Chain A
Amino acid sequence: MSTITWITARGLFGRRRFLLLLPLPLVLLGLAVLCRSLGVDPGEWGPPVLVGLGLAVVLPVVALIIGTGVLGAEIDDGTVVHILTKPLPRWQIVLPKLAVAAGVTAVTVAVPLYVAGVLADSVRLGLALAASATLGALAYSALFLALSLVTRRPVLLGLVYVLIWEGLLGNFVSGTKVLSIQQYVIALADRLAPTGLLETTVSVPVASVMTALVSIGFTVLAIDRLRSFSVAGETS
């Protein structure tokens, strides 16, 4: 394991902020188990729990907390300087951090989604949700990691994207769905396990290409921004 990965992981798990990650997946899991045990028709609880809660809230919010934390927290408290004063090409800093963010997000979200998918329909749906959520975790992490280098308020901006752009506008202005990671994840999951539970307007090729573009594009942006990273002086 690289030193950057090690420091990032220790920083992430060593902070209390990490505890924020636990409630959301647990709620998702709890609701799925509850609906199943009460014998509610999956057609009724599937879409709101799997999509409305799992893919629209749990995945992006967990990714937001972790993605803005792996580098953003170090920028906030100034410890990033220790990593930056090393003769490392900046991609060697960004990629391990992205890997930690995407990996931890994927594990935190994919497991409850898998269980909920199995309870709602089949193992195939569970696997499809877990796999597409992992891809989504990568795209979201790249986006939020880049945000933490572009703005000083990455969490706020990330929430605006998740809640306003994906959550609100997606319902009224269908065009915004083309630029919504959530829609790509739904489209990919539906392609892997076609059921009546997932609905999307984005085609699978668009979803695949856009997921790759978002992941790579924001990673490149993050590397470039880190290259020009400025420490604010006392005067600013």
Chain B
Amino acid sequence: MSTLSLTGVSRWYGNVVAVNDISMALGPGVTGLLGPNGAGKTTLLHMMAGFLAPSRGTVTLDDEPTWRNPDVYRRLGLVSEREAVQGFLTAYEFVLASAKLHRLTDPAAAARRAIDLVELESAQDRRIGTYSKGMRQRARVAAALVHDPQVLLLDEPFNGMDPRQRLHMMQLLHTLGDAGRTILFSSHILEEVEQVSGTVQVMVAGRLAASGDFRTIRRLMTNRPHVFAIRSTDDRALAVALIAEPSVSGVELDPTGLTVRAGDYGAFTRALPRIALKQGIRVRQLVPSDESLESVFSYLVEA
């Protein structure tokens, strides 16, 4: 179990502030680092991985600084965004070289295990130069996982992957996170973060805009309406009853069901069963339709 801690971390390039006073502690599990392009995600990841000195603040892995400290790489793996690999090597040679550089006791076994983990066995003896983007990405992940690090940082790991590879990578990250590894991956695509991770760190313009479970974050923004899609045995009667409820700010009736806007998430979700029961209406479906990260994110950017 390792903890990656950032305390008041800022990084600037001349007059441009790329990362602005960020503090966070990352423990076991999968965390998504979310933000639009140019938000400073890569800069932050590079500081976490010891590839950039913070202009201010500290980045530590289990109380050891990551900057100018190659020893942290015993416990930390990095998959950077640039898909640079030595194209003249085969995937097996590439991962094996990593294992050897880590001074593992049985580099060949470690390399095979890592290649199995990313499902690259069938292509492991081909030169990486001949790989597709997604395969190259998996080769890089295998190299970063070869020493079974406690902490794995991935910069835009799903870029260039097809849906099947994406799914597989998500499962892999879940497995690692469930096994007690600290996994942080960055992404500007909301669905990716939503599917892999319940915990997000949202960065906007170099600042940490929000952090925590993204559904919780959404709930905290009570000044914004929450939208629910409801289907029931009698939509019209339910609409009449709901509009009398103080927590409901709007109801829309259409052939597929009801769209309800609620100002107070908690009050509405407590009121709905009570109302339905009283009216003798059976609720068939209740979907929070804007619970996606996309909407959380656009609120944060607007705010």
* Nearest A residue to B100, CB-CB: A3
Known: A77-B84, A235-B18, A235-B43. A86 touches B52 (CB 8 A): no
Say which one of A36-44, A180-188, A226-234 lies at the interface with B.
A226-234
Taken together as a complex, chains A and B put the C-alpha atoms of A9 and B11 apart, in Å, by 36
Min CB distance B102 to A, Å, is 6
Judge whether A11 and B144 touch: CB under 8 Å: no
- Which residues of chain B have C-beta atoms less than 8 A from A81's C-beta? 51, 78, 80, 82, 84
- Chain B binding surface SS class: mixed
Contacting residue for A231 out of B52, B72, B89, B94, CB 8 A: B52
Known: A3-B100, A235-B13. A86 touches B86 (CB 8 A): no
B286 within 8 A of A: no
- Which residues of chain A have C-beta atoms less than 8 A from B76's C-beta? 85
Known: A11-B86, A87-B71, A89-B70. A235 touches B100 (CB 8 A): no
Q: Which of A82-104 contact B (CB under 8 A)?
A: 82-90
* Nearest B residue to A224, CB-CB: B68
Contacting residue for B53 out of A14, A78, A87, A228, CB 8 A: A228
Contacting residue for B46 out of A83, A86, A231, CB 8 A: A231
Judge whether B101 and A4 touch: CB under 8 Å: yes
Chain A residues proximal to chain B, CB less than 8 Å: 3-4, 6-7, 10-11, 14, 77-79, 81-90, 227-231, 233-236
B38 within 8 A of A: yes
Beyond known contacts A82-B86, A85-B73: 20 more, CB 8 A cutoff? A3-B100, A7-B86, A79-B85, A82-B85, A82-B98, A82-B143, A85-B49, A85-B77, A87-B73, A87-B103, A88-B70, A89-B70, A227-B68, A227-B70, A228-B67, A234-B38, A235-B40, A235-B42, A236-B13, A236-B18
B282 within 8 A of A: no
Taken together as a complex, chains A and B put the C-alpha atoms of A74 and B49 apart, in Å, by 18
- Which residues of chain B have C-beta atoms less than 8 A from A87's C-beta? 70-74, 102-103
- Which residues of chain A have C-beta atoms less than 8 A from B86's C-beta? 7, 10-11, 79, 82
Taken together as a complex, chains A and B put the C-alpha atoms of A49 and B89 apart, in Å, by 40
Q: Which 8 A-B pairs have the closest CB atoms?
A: A78-B84, A233-B43, A78-B82, A86-B101, A231-B51, A14-B88, A235-B18, A3-B100
